[in-house]
Structure 1
Amino acid sequence: MACLGCLLIWGKAVLVGTPPLQRATFAIVTGEVRAVNPVPSKAMVRLLVRPMDAPELPPMLRVNLRQPDMSPAIGRGAIVRFRARLMPPAPPSLPGGYDFAARAYFMGIGATGRALPPIAVIRPATAGPDLRNRLFAHILARLEGSAGGIAAALATGDQGAITEDDAEAMRRSGLAHLLSISGLHVTALIGAVIFLLMRVMALSRRAALDWPLMLIAAGGGALAGIGYTLLTGAEVPTVRSCVAALLVLGGLALGRDAITLRLVATGALIVLCLWPEALIGPSFQMSFAAVVAIIALSEHPRFRAFAAARDENPWRKTGRAVTVLLLTGFAVELVLAPIAFFHFHKAGMLGAFANIIAIPLTTFVVMPLEALALLLDLAGLGAPAWWATGKALDLLLFIAHGVGSSPMAVALGPALPGWIFGMMVMGGLWCLLWRSGWRWLGLVPATIGFVAILLNPAPDILVTGDGRHVALRTDQGMALLRDRAGDYVRDAMAESAGYGGVLEALADLPQARCSDDLCSVQLDRGGRRWRLLVTRSDMLVERGAFRRDCRWADIVISDRRLPRWCQPAWLKADRPLLAMTGGLSINLEKGTVRTVHRPDDAHPWMPRRTGPGRGGHAPSKASGSDAAP
């Protein structure tokens, strides 16, 4: 099975993957528009364009277009011409960061960029917006503001209309899973369809007495689930949920207990056969980990006995239901924590409490009201239902912002090494999959991983892969070389370091001396004083002074190629070295350097790299598997 899995991912990488553009370039692109994805929250539109008569470009480009530059004639099938600065899909900017390059490789995207106006339309669109885009636009026209963005995401899976503030609040409060179409949404839809079909068919006496109503209703629910999955883009959590729901319906039709770990295994096998690259992504890992945790908990005899229905007064029944929901939420949060720390460098702490209200609110109020509003819109009578939907979504956002604003909502931590993540996952799976006393042996690696997370040191220096942005950890917090860096860079730096405060300007530090061209900083770490020199501009620095500063420094960081005679004592991270290693995370106390890329890394979604050559200089005291080459 392991060999078949390796063969499967290798085969898909060779047959389906799209090699990236090798270097940034300006180009005049003439191509056919294959897809249009509006992103109202950022006032832009994303186009997938297939270049024509351009063998030097990848077969598919993703370009961003400002909303004011968008024309009604630009749609699927349109041929357009524009100027663009194209880039290879971005690798992680820092160790442990999001690898869009790998995702783009399997999506068939070879380059990304921004289309510069004017956009010439050579041939208007030959096809109108697809059903998903029409539904997305219809919902936003009926429900404005933050509520409209959430409503559109629930119906179509497209989160482009959700503002960053609302999305961050949903993430911090542990409610982000409500925005990704998964088990909750698919189950609610299928359950509602089965319920309605059963009630409608039971109105006929002949049908009620002679027809297999459950089988018919289950068939209708299955068709609804498949249609919903296709409508929302068939993302991994949605496909997993749809497969699981179909297996449950089949099990019910056969009179079998369908909610078992075999169901999860079957869903995982189907997803991995179609999308083997999903295994390393947070979506697959968090989706399946949550379901495995819920089923493993529900199969435990003591929990099953406590949660079983019984004849008792309403207050005890409500208290029991709330307790079951809380325990389930705690189990899911505990299982998802190491995955969240590894991929996002933070984990939710209050999600179980927020979900007590948010899950019933979404399942039994928001989604039925939204479905009713869409149904009434067929007759032009949906306004009251949309008003009620908006109020329910406002309540959901109020819960998200209220819980997310708590300082205890999220635990932050620096980027984790792979071995810690492996220990936690191995121990967790051992505990969840076994049913006998052997399961508790999994606590050993899980505990080792947990202790390692607590002891995982924050980096002292972070350097992005292009060398332009440098962050330092000081006694007062964290400082950034370029104080005008955008929010994306600031968030990436803070998350990778596990830092929740505001990043200061490096030039404002008392131990820093900065000019327009250079910054020198001294840091006391590991019983010694480290001297750091960073370039700030592209201007030529006087050779004599620069040579002297290079000899003074232990570490020199630059976004350009430095001359050979610039030889610091420990590390020279200039453009040639960073092109080979990617971003850096430096721990001065241990004398180690973590890199985005390893020297032998030859994944096909990475542009061809060369060694540091004359410009590179490796750290003389780095050690361990995380050391730079």
Structure 2
Amino acid sequence: MSRSPILSASDPAAVAGGLRAALRGLNPLAAIETRLEAERDQIALWLPIALGAGIAAWMVLPDRFAWFAAMAGFAALAFVGCAVGLGSRLGRMMAVGGAVALFGVVLIWTRADWVASPRIDRPVVAVVAGRVVSVERLPAREIVRVTVEDVAAPLPPRLRLNIDQAQVDERLSVGDGINVRARLMPPAPPPVPGAQDFARTAWFQQLGATGKALDPPVVTQGSQGGWLGWLADRRAVLSRHIEGRLPGSEGGVAASLATGDQGAIAEEDAEALRRAGLAHLLSVSGLHVSAVVGGVMLLTLRLLALSPALALRAPLLLIAAGAGALSGIVYTLLSGAQVPTIRSCIAALLVLAGIAMGREAITLRLVATGALVVLLLWPEAIAGPSFQLSFAAVTALVALLDHPRIRAFAAPREEGWLVRRGRSLALLLLSGLVIEVALAPIALFHFHKSGLYGALANIVAIPLTTFLIMPAEALALLFDAVGFGAPFWWVTGQALAGLLWLARTVAEAPGAVTMLPTMGRLAFGLFVAGGLWLALWRTGWRRWGLVPCAAATLLALTAPAPDVLITGDGRHVAFVLGDGRVALLRERAGDYVRGMLGEAAGHDGEPLPVDALMQARCSTDLCVTEIARGGRRWRIAATRSPYRLDWVRFTRICARADIVISDRRLPRGCKARWLTIDRRLLARTGGIAIDLDRGGVATVAAEAGHHPWVRFDR
């Protein structure tokens, strides 16, 4: 009978080695070390993740105590790594990751304090006198948005105004002086929990107020704009030129591709592009910068190669890369040099540097380097959807194309034209599907909606934009210099009309948009962690990323939806019906309020007036309705006018109501059976979302915490 070689006494070294291997298999630290050794080329990719984790912790945690606790936790992680041993990969990862995350907390905290600027605390009407530093024309809304600096005290030194387009001279430009009477408002916090936090955005832009001009402004022509002012003027002139050549939304989209100016796109067309998953085409970002850089580089290379002397003696690839880099920088400056565009330009420059050095152009290391640069310069960008969407899309795409099976599928081979085109189409469809899956949690978290047909629409829209619209527009602008641009403008217009038709068709398709009322931060964090785990590792343990993704999906789908939404000023109340529809207390609510409340409630449709509900009894001044939730009927009373109510009758209504809502200060005699919401309470809580099934109340103040931009009467 044969014996096992491990148990053979004639080979004691083999026995000892086998025992050591078995013991290592039982040691979890050794097992992790073995895994990390197999993933050693991927470990550096987690450096920007660690920095982002520190920044995100400061953004999410509520107050100084929690921030210091996070710093202590990250420091402890670094010390544990040192204890595990810097000679091991696990120890180095823990030590470096903890230290970098700690630096992330310090970085964003320092940045938030550094950009601190005065701001107003309540609405005021005042005369604004200062220097124009930004002019954004929005023809579709018939307004001009102007950012003004050097404003005299007691007003904030930097603020933003909307001025009626008819009242603004077209010659208004950066560097001009302006004097105008305006109604100013503090930067607005989220109107309801989960909505956009403009106060945070304004804080990092150092905007102390926003408002609307009440009179035509008095403008003093200045010459202090410098090269930035000159560039802004050229950008505005170019936008007007394009919009003059292509009227309507076609011209607005064409202008957005060239200068990033989206102001001439009709709102219904912009919404159709968003619903169809094509809104990314409007913002100058990676797609546009890549098209410009790649086009200029290819054209330069082909032109230089026409000369045999240059082809034999000159480093054509290096020269073409330099031309591409220069074109990318110029395009970034011309399009307004917004953070997403700068981020894309940095990534393009890194790609060109890799090409010039003979390295592989597009890798996850390149993506990680770009993310690290952006987070170091603009750490607050991590909280915005632009940063998250762009890096999620690029990371998902590069990780997909780097997979061995996909790489083998996409490898060139000898085959017929039809099969080759079919393979390319399949790869494009798969890429679109992966990107849509990667972007869906981000879109649902920030906008409460995600397009279902975006992958299919992008299969047509991206090649159409990259290979037809942008080259035709570039040729049209070039030939306009000699008066022969009309044919190219016709081609551009027809292609843009086709793009808008595609957006409208997809947007109107049944089930084109998935709505989700709310996604908690825990669910979103699990989606991010699981997605990164899937994308950044290469070996089999990457599949463990599916676990947090599955948990996040369960949390998102089972999260309680709000039954009542109250904006921070108390004026607007949304009642969510059993079938998901939304009824508004005030029928005359503006488009922004109607859309925002619909998104927060997870309803994709036109809201109903509360008067249309069978159980509602409404007058001009007061509305009383009932909602069946949690096995009982909730009686809700809400005021909807500023006029005085009959005291005796109103106090009786309050006493019989479970919830009373008003945008005014209610008298002490008005006490609801469960919750009384008036101006005094809303000043402390901000907007409110109520879950009647569970009796839960979420507030903007609780979500915002005690960050510098938060102002509530606590």
TM-score (ref. length: structure 1): 0.94
| Alpha-carbon distance in 2 for matches of 1:173, 1:515 | 40
Structure with greater helix percent: 2
196-205 or 68-77, which deviates more: 68-77
Shift of 1:124: 6.0
The AA in structure 1 aligned to 2:475 is: L
1:489-500 matches, cutoff 5 A = 489-500=593-604
**Are 1:18 and 1:106, in contact at CA under 8 Å, matched by a contact in 2?**
no
SS in 2 for 1:354: helix
| Alpha-carbon distance in 1 for matches of 2:567, 2:574 | 9
Q: 1:575 aligns with which of 672, 679, 695?
A: 679
| Alpha-carbon distance in 2 for matches of 1:599, 1:330 | 33
Q: 2:429 aligns with which of 304, 313, 326?
A: 326
Q: 1:350 aligns with which of 448, 453, 459?
A: 453
SS in 1 for 2:214: strand
Q: Which residue of 1 aligns with 2:216?
A: 118
1:378-397 matches, cutoff 5 A = 378-397=481-500
Shift of 1:107: 1.2
Of the two, which has the highest radius of gyration?
2
| Alpha-carbon distance in 1 for matches of 2:615, 2:511 | 33
Q: Which residue of 2 aligns with 1:626?
A: none
Note closer, same or farther for the CA distance 1:135–1:526 as it changes in structure 2 (3 Å cut): same
**Structure 2 unaligned spans of 5+:** 1-99
Note closer, same or farther for the CA distance 1:73–1:385 as it changes in structure 2 (3 Å cut): closer
Q: Percent identity over the alignment? A: 55
272-281 or 399-408, which deviates more: 399-408
Q: 2:271 aligns with which of 163, 168, 185?
A: 168
The AA in structure 2 aligned to 1:275 is: W
Shift of 1:520: 1.0
| Alpha-carbon distance in 1 for matches of 2:147, 2:486 | 35
SS in 1 for 2:215: strand
| Alpha-carbon distance in 2 for matches of 1:495, 1:385 | 40
Shift of 1:600: 8.0
The AA in structure 2 aligned to 1:564 is: R
Q: 1:338 aligns with which of 441, 463, 473?
A: 441
2:125 equivalent to 1:59: no
Q: 1:482 aligns with which of 581, 586, 601?
A: 586
Note closer, same or farther for the CA distance 1:94–1:215 as it changes in structure 2 (3 Å cut): same
**Are 1:51 and 1:61, in contact at CA under 8 Å, matched by a contact in 2?**
no
Q: Which residue of 1 aligns with 2:533?
A: 430
Q: Which residue of 1 aligns with 2:558?
A: 455
249-258 or 120-129, which deviates more: 120-129
The AA in structure 1 aligned to 2:273 is: M
The AA in structure 2 aligned to 1:565 is: G
Shift of 1:51: 5.0
The AA in structure 2 aligned to 1:25 is: V
Shift of 1:544: 1.8
1:548-587 matches, cutoff 5 A = 548-587=652-691
**Are 1:89 and 1:112, in contact at CA under 8 Å, matched by a contact in 2?**
yes
**Are 1:75 and 1:125, in contact at CA under 8 Å, matched by a contact in 2?**
no
Q: 1:529 aligns with which of 623, 626, 633?
A: 633
Structure 1 residues 133-163: Cα deviation after superposition (integer angstroms, max 9, x where no partner): 1211111122111110000000011111111
1:71-220 matches, cutoff 5 A = 71-72=169-170, 74-122=172-220, 130-220=233-323
**Are 2:118 and 2:157, in contact at CA under 8 Å, matched by a contact in 1?**
no
SS in 1 for 2:438: helix
Structure 1 residues 81-118: Cα deviation after superposition (integer angstroms, max 9, x where no partner): 22111001121111111111111111121111100123
**Are 1:585 and 1:594, in contact at CA under 8 Å, matched by a contact in 2?**
yes
Q: Which residue of 1 aligns with 2:142?
A: 43
**Are 1:51 and 1:57, in contact at CA under 8 Å, matched by a contact in 2?**
no
**Are 1:73 and 1:121, in contact at CA under 8 Å, matched by a contact in 2?**
no
Q: Which residue of 2 aligns with 1:616?
A: none
| Alpha-carbon distance in 2 for matches of 1:185, 1:32 | 32
340-349 or 243-252, which deviates more: 243-252
Shift of 1:30: 2.1
164-173 or 117-126, which deviates more: 117-126
Q: 1:31 aligns with which of 116, 130, 140?
A: 130
SS in 2 for 1:117: coil
SS in 1 for 2:125: strand
Note closer, same or farther for the CA distance 1:440–1:100 as it changes in structure 2 (3 Å cut): same
Q: Which residue of 1 aligns with 2:513?
A: 410
Query: Cα RMSD over matched residues?
Result: 1.6
SS in 1 for 2:160: strand
TM-score (ref. length: structure 2): 0.83
**Are 1:29 and 1:51, in contact at CA under 8 Å, matched by a contact in 2?**
no
Shift of 1:425: 1.2
SS in 1 for 2:654: helix
**Structure 1 unaligned spans of 5+:** 612-629
| Alpha-carbon distance in 1 for matches of 2:236, 2:584 | 40
The AA in structure 1 aligned to 2:106 is: L
Shift of 1:171: 0.8
**Are 1:77 and 1:124, in contact at CA under 8 Å, matched by a contact in 2?**
yes
